[in-house]
Amino acid sequence: MKKSLTFNGVGKTYGRTVALRPTDLEIKAGEFLTLLGPSGSGKTTLLMALAGFVQPSSGSILLDGQDITNIPPEARNFGVVFQGYALFPHLTVWENVYFPLRARNLGRAKAREAVDDALALMELKPYADRMPAALSGGQQQRVALARALVFKPELLLLDEPLSALDKSLRKTLQTELKELHRKVGTTFVYVTHDQEEALSMSDRIAILRAGEIQQIASADALYWRPETAFVAGFLGRSNFVPMSGATVDAGAVTALTVLGPIKAQLPRDGVDVPRDACIAVRPERIAVSRQEPAHQNRVQGRVVSLTFFGTHVELDVEARGTLLNVHVPAVQAAQEPGLAEGAEVWLGWDADVSLVLPQETAAA
Amino acid sequence: MNASLFPRIVAWAVACFLALPVLIMLPISLTPNRYLSLPKDGISLRHYKSLIDDPQWIASIADSLFVATLAAMLAVVLGASFAIGIWRRGGMAERVLQPIMLAPMIVPPIVHSVAFYKGWAEIGLLDTYTGLILVHAMKGTPFVILTVAAALANFDPRTEQAARSLGASAGRTMAWVVLPQIKGGLLSGAVFAFFISWDEIIVALFITMRQVYTLPRRIWDGLEDNIDPAIAALGSLMILATVALMILQTIKKR
Ligand SMILES: Nc1ncnc2c1ncn2[C@@H]1O[C@H](COP(=O)(O)OP(=O)(O)OP(=O)(O)O)[C@@H](O)[C@H]1O
Ligand SMILES: [Mg+2]
């Protein structure tokens, strides 16, 4: 049942609007791939092209090497969970889940076992005879999942299935979805604009921006080795320091910035320093101390604001006219005497946590 | 006190204005006299009996039922197809075509009548069931379009996509997902179209003669000599049927 999918230059334009630029993408059999990006970045377009509801303007989609670009949605055998679930309001829960089997010409009696199994998997047995309108948001979502899984699809596509739910329910269902992915082993393609959701659930995440995949990698690779300033800023937080030039010596970059020369690194081997570049540093990778630290990069600054967040303390430090955001674990901050607003401090970090990234996409 | 009394009086006055002319039919239909009057010395069911006994009344009721039923069915098919199609396409098509399709509601019936009299005479549809059914269906179609369009406004188009992704063909999606969800609009459109035909008189006067003799036409012709209280009996029966239907409906909803 596991199939791999390939996008060959799939693009979509509506008149002059480019919803999706020609995109290459490889979806591995059995993986949990998340499409993450701001509103209007083309996530739904990509997913609907996969489902067969959007006819690509260019390129082709292959399922295990077979071209499915022109196959209608009902013949693709993909489960789709729509935003807002799109349950059939005139059918009971049981009939909703039976629907795909009925479409495959299976009689009620023959389908009973499969439907009941799917309902049991989603813990929906007690609600089988209810109408969808008489269910809570979480229950509706589980019906949508049961309906999309009951016919053992080759691929499950989910478009922001949790966005309508409150935070605590969302957390529970995230865990359930991940569990479900493990249990059924089907390939999941999941759309969200919630980065925490993406980080906690996915095997791989594709970051979309303005109809283009910026980077596709595992959660921690994206977090620690972003390849564009947009990714570094969209996933978690980053301090960006503009560069006015750089010298490269055997892979080691020394960047010229308003903070002075900064020792930095390129995101991966073999790339050149981009023409319009900046330095990106995660707030939690910057150390704060009252004495001059031993890090490769050191700057002196003054604490402008200090906010306590329980697990960590967040500082805004002004150094040579630039504001740097720094996260210090609360335990450590407590051991640092005199760490308060207005205090003069040293900031220090090493070359391997300051990345040289292309800048033109840092806006947004 | 006064402030809340006044609107109530107005409300009751309006209700009486609307209901009394209808309710007056009930006593009239029970008059023992041969002419239209309120019963004075006792009541009688003779006019109800004459309704059943007179084969002409029965024939006209049958004609009207037949024409109205087929016209309503045709109007539902045409109106629903148009409303669904236009809803799919949206945009320009909707803005331009919708008003054109609603034209039969706006064009004065007398204009229709003259036009169809001439046209049907050309092609031999005068005084035929087909001729009358076609015109009545055309008059009912705009109402079906309006009720179905209203039902579609509350329809979630994603359920249609969901059905397709779950393996249902376009045809099955229509039958299993779209039509059941707009059932209410189809039904009220059908009721509208039925009653438009049921009491349509102007076109019927022009394009029917003896072969097709609908109820409104018979009543109209009867008015010319002497008003038969059987008309009041007929009206009362229809009101009773409507009330019975409404009661049934409310009981079912409970
Ligand atoms: N049918 C359409 N006609 C014209 N433009 C469209 C159409 N569908 C999408 N677009 C445009 O394509 C772009 C991408 O849309 P898409 O729905 O894929 O975004 P998204 O990433 O899913 O956003 P969101 O997070 O808000 O759902 C948007 O600029 C949108 O306006
Ligand atoms: Mg979307």
Query: How high is the mean pLDDT in each 10-residue block of chain B (254 residues)?
Result: 81 91 85 84 86 86 93 96 89 84 88 92 91 94 94 91 91 94 93 92 90 88 76 86 88 78
What is the architecture of the domain spanning A238-358?
Answer: Beta Barrel (2.40)
- pLDDT at residue A362, as a whole number: 40
- pLDDT at residue A360, as a whole number: 64
Q: A192 touching B, CB under 8 A? A: no
- pLDDT at residue A355, as a whole number: 87
- pLDDT at residue B173, as a whole number: 93
Helical segments of B54-182, H only: 55-89, 91-101, 103-106, 109-123, 129-153, 157-165, 170-173, 179-181
Q: B66-213 has which fold? A: MetI-like fold (1.10.3720)
Per-residue DSSP letters for A144-183? HHHHHHTT--SEEEEESTTTTS-HHHHHHHHHHHHHHHHH
Chain A residue whose CA is closest to B168: A103
Q: Which protein residues touch ligand 1 with a CB less than 6 Å away?
A: A 14, 17, 19, 37, 39-45, 193
CATH 3.40.50.300 in chain A is located at 5-224
Q: From the alpha carbon of A42, which atom of ligand 1 is closest?
A: 18
Q: A98 touching B, CB under 8 A? A: no
Measured torsion, CA atoms of residues A229, A233, A238, A243, in degrees rounded to the nearest 10: 30
Q: Confidence class of residue A172 from pLDDT cuts 50, 70 and 90?
A: confident
Model confidence pLDDT, tens digit, residues A14-41: 988 899 999 899 999 889 999 999 988 9
Q: B162 touching A, CB under 8 A? A: yes
Q: B176 touching A, CB under 8 A? A: yes
Among A12, A14, A83, residue to substitute to test ligand 1 (most atoms within 8 Å of Cβ)? A14
Site of tokens 């009358």: B132
Taking CA atoms only, the protein residue closest to ligand 1 atom 29 is: A40
pLDDT for residue A169 is more than 80: no
Chain A residue whose CA is closest to B164: A74
Contact: A82, B166; criterion CB under 8 Å: no
Residues 6+ apart with CB under 8 A from B147: B185, B186, B188, B189, B192
pLDDT for residue A275 is more than 70: yes
pLDDT for residue A1 is more than 60: no
Per-residue DSSP letters for A282-295? -GGG-EEESS---S
CB under 5 Å of ion ligand 2: residues: A 44
The answer to whether the CB of A141 falls within 8 A of the CB of A96 is no
Q: Confidence class of residue A126 from pLDDT cuts 50, 70 and 90?
A: very high
Quick one: tokens of A347? Answer: 């900031």
Chain B residue whose CA is closest to A87: B159
- pLDDT at residue B150, as a whole number: 93
Mean pLDDT of chain A: 87
CATH 2.40.50.100 in chain A is located at 238-358
Ligand nearest to the CA of A19: 1
Average pLDDT for A307-333: 87
- pLDDT at residue A188, as a whole number: 92
Cβ-based contacts of A133 with chain B (< 8 Å): none
Average pLDDT for A285-312: 87
Q: A15 touching B, CB under 8 A? A: no
Site of tokens 């970051």: A207
Cβ-Cβ pairs closer than 8 A, A with B, add up to: 71
The answer to whether the CB of A200 falls within 8 A of the CB of A30 is no
Question: Which candidate from B172, B177, B183 shows the least CB-CB separation from A88?
Answer: B177
- A255 vs B201: which has the higher pLDDT: B201
Helix (H) or strand (E) holding B217: helix B215-225
For residue B214, count CB atoms less than 10 angstroms from its CB and return exposed for 0-12, middle for 13-18, buried for 19 or more: buried
- Maximum distance among all Cα pairs of chain B, rounded to whole angstroms: 73
Model confidence pLDDT, tens digit, residues B198-242: 989 999 999 988 888 998 888 888 777 667 788 888 888 888 888
State the pTM of this model: 0.76
CATH for the A5-224 domain, from 2.60.40.10, 3.40.50.300, 2.60.40.1120, 3.30.365.10: 3.40.50.300
Contact: A103, B165; criterion CB under 8 Å: no
Cβ-based contacts of B167 with chain A (< 8 Å): 74-75, 77, 100, 103-104, 151
pLDDT for residue A143 is more than 90: yes
Q: How far is CA B113 from CA A121, B129, B141, in A?
A: 65, 15, 17
Q: From the alpha carbon of A208, which atom of ligand 1 is closest?
A: 21
CATH 1.10.3720.10 in chain B is located at 66-213
Average pLDDT for A178-194: 89
Q: Confidence class of residue A361 from pLDDT cuts 50, 70 and 90?
A: very low
Contact: A86, B162; criterion CB under 8 Å: yes
Average pLDDT for A100-121: 91
Mutation pick from B88, B164, B165 vs chain A, by most beta carbons of A within 10 Å, is: B165
Quick one: tokens of A37? Answer: 């990006």
Contact: B166, A88; criterion CB under 8 Å: no
Among A43, A192, A208, residue to substitute to test ligand 1 (most atoms within 8 Å of Cβ)? A43
pLDDT for residue A340 is more than 50: yes
Interface confidence, given as ipTM, is: 0.75
Chain B nearest CA to A234, separation (Å): 30
Q: Where are the beta strands (DSSP E) in chain A?
A: 5-14, 17-27, 32-36, 58-63, 66-67, 78-81, 155-159, 187-192, 204-209, 212-217, 239-249, 252-257, 260-264, 277-281, 287-289, 297-308, 312-319, 322-329, 344-349, 355-358
Model confidence pLDDT, tens digit, residues A46-102: 999 999 999 999 999 998 888 999 999 988 889 899 888 899 999 999 999 999 999
